[in-house]
Amino acid sequence: MNEQHHDERTRIREAIDRLLAGQAVASNGSLTVVALAAEAGVHRMALMKRHADLKNEFYERVRTETQQVPETEKRLRETITKLKKTLKNKNAEIEELRQLVTNLTLASAVLTQKTDEPIEPVPTPDNVIPLHPPTS
C-alpha cells in the first residue's frame, strides 16, 4: 500500500468519526457517501472503488451507532416497494387479459359454429313492408 493510499484511508476513517460525532467541518454532515467523501477530501468514486471496504464500514457504523438506516438503503427500499406494487398490478392485468382471451375464444367458437348451420329466414309480420322485394 503506497503512502497516498494510506493517507486517504486515514482521512476517510477520521471523516467517519467526525460525521458520526456530528462534527462535520468540510461537508453538510449528512450520513451519506457524498458527505463522507467531501469530509475526507477524496473523490467520491475513489471512495466507492478503492475504499469500498471503508464505505461499507461507514454504513455499518451508521446502522449500529445511530440506529438509522442509510439514505441509499431507504431509497432502495422505497423503489423495491414500488416495483413490487407494479409487479402485482401487472400480474393482475395479465390474469384479466387471459380471462378475456378465453372468453373471446369461446365467443368466437360459438359464432363460428352458428354460421356453419343453415340460417332459416325469420318470418316477417303482416304489418311490415320490406324495402327490397324478396329475391327468388
d(CA 28, CA 6): 25
What distance, in Å, lies between the first and last C-alpha atoms of the chain?
104
Predicted confidence at residue 136, as pLDDT, reads 59
Predicted confidence at residue 94, as pLDDT, reads 96
pLDDT-based confidence at residue 134 (cuts at 50, 70, 90)? low
* Residue 101 burial by Cβ neighbours in a 10 Å radius (0-12, 13-18, 19+): exposed
| Better pLDDT: 93 or 115 | 93
Q: How many CB atoms lie within 10 A of CB 61?
A: 15
Predicted confidence at residue 118, as pLDDT, reads 62
CB hemisphere CA count around 55 (13 angstroms): 17
Res 116 pLDDT > 60 = no
Query: Residue 29 in 3-state DSSP?
Result: coil
Q: Where are the domains of the chain?
A: 3-68, 71-103
